[in-house]
Amino acid sequence: PGAGRVPRPLLAHGAAGGAMSGPLRMAPAGGPGATVPFVLRAVRIALVVCLYWFTSIAMVFLNKYLLDSPSLRLDAPLFVTFYQCALTAALCLGLSLGAACGPPCPALPTLRLDAKVSRSVLPLSAVFIGMVTSNNLCLKHVGVAFYNVGRSLTTVFNVLLSYLLLKQTTSLYALLACGAIIGGFWLGVDQEGAEGTLSWTGIFFGILASLCVSLNAIYTKKVLPVVDGSIWRLTFYNNVNACVLFFPLMMLLGEFRTLYHFNKLWSPSFWGVMTLGGVFGFAIGYVTGLQIKFTSPLTHNVSGTAKACAQTVLAVIYFEETKSFLWWTSNLMVLGGSFAYTWVKGLEMRKMQEDPNVKSSERNETGV
């Protein structure tokens, strides 16, 4: 659950956050009404951005504790992910029932489990499981400070898959930004190896997570009509399907035996942290929607890039790590490349919207 599990906005990139189980995007992009005083708007935007940063960073640190804490010693990453999916499904259903008892809320439709719809969503759910599991396994095997670089290739896979599957080309400037991300990724891998902290398992799952995030966005667009375009319903079905599919995987990998011998299985504090991590994973979709609503998709991605930088610095300070100049350079290359890609795509989209004579082939070039 990093990252996020709602489909990322049109300009999204891998640095914005982890893969997460958010319930819905709140509203179309755009700020609040012009009648609101400037100071109030500025304060509101600042509070929403701070809330997004706090929720996203706290979720990553909580998941790192659950997945790889020496004091907890729980080697059951699939169970942690399963519990968070189950909690997300339960919260979706609970909020939907609560909305049904109160004033009508179009963003919270009535939820009921339909086997036919569930089967239609199943291909997306398989990709979704790969996304959330590989995100958590990457975080388990790499440090929080390196987590952003380890799964930074989402933007690159966005460009690649858009060309292979959707036949959409990408501008030269956007490709140069992708080159900076790839260069930063490889430099980061090299520096982790030089410091003796490199985990090839973590790198593998980071690359897999980046691929699954891109595939998840593509499959989400295909599956949305099945749930009448409702992100809320899609989140509910995705997490219900994931809970069912996780059971044989946990059995195959022996996680039930691990849980049987886990000495803190009946500890209230353990379940408190598990539940808190699930709530943060659920909430990230809500605060992501708020940030898009009160700013814009472009500002959201810039905020996500800055948040990733702050998260890296906090992790280095919290875990008392010492990093080399080249290690910091790799992070700056990834963050700079992500920011440049977001900026280029934003300019291309603005040009497309302002110029009514843009050809359809040129419109496809801004599709990532």
Chain segment 328-349, per-residue pLDDT in tens? 999 999 999 999 998 898 888 8
- Per the CB < 8 A criterion, the answer to whether 192 and 146 are in contact is yes
Long-range contacts of 195-204 (CB under 8 A, 24+ apart): 195/323, 195/324, 195/327, 197/143, 197/146, 199/141, 199/142, 201/137, 201/141, 202/137, 202/138, 202/140, 202/141, 202/142, 202/146, 202/150, 203/142, 203/150
Residue with tokens 């086997």: 115
* pLDDT value for 8: 39
* pLDDT value for 3: 40
User: Which stretches of the chain are DSSP H helices?
Assistant: 38-68, 77-101, 115-141, 144-150, 154-166, 172-194, 200-223, 231-252, 255-260, 268-294, 297-318, 325-354, 360-364
User: Highest mean pLDDT: which of 27-31, 69-73, 183-187, 289-293?
Assistant: 183-187
Residue 114 banded pLDDT, cuts 50, 70, 90? confident
Distance from chain centroid for Cα 221? 16
Among 31-45, 71-85, 94-108, the range scoring the smallest mean pLDDT is 94-108
Residue 9 banded pLDDT, cuts 50, 70, 90? very low
* pLDDT value for 232: 85
pLDDT(190) > 70: yes
* pLDDT value for 357: 60
* pLDDT value for 209: 95
pLDDT(30) > 70: no
Average pLDDT for 242-262: 94
* pLDDT value for 7: 39
* pLDDT value for 40: 87
For 16, half-sphere exposure in the C-beta direction (CA atoms, 13 angstrom radius) is: 33
pLDDT over 70 for what percent of the chain? 83
CA pair distance 236, 241, nearest whole angstrom: 9
Give the pair of three-digit tokens for residue 239: 């997490």
List the chain domain ranges.
Answer: 44-352
CB within 8 Å of 218: residues ≥ 6 apart: 161, 165, 166
* pLDDT value for 239: 93
To the nearest whole number, what is the mean pLDDT of the chain?
Answer: 84
* pLDDT value for 364: 44
pLDDT(305) > 90: no
pLDDT over 90 for what percent of the chain? 57
Average pLDDT for 134-145: 95
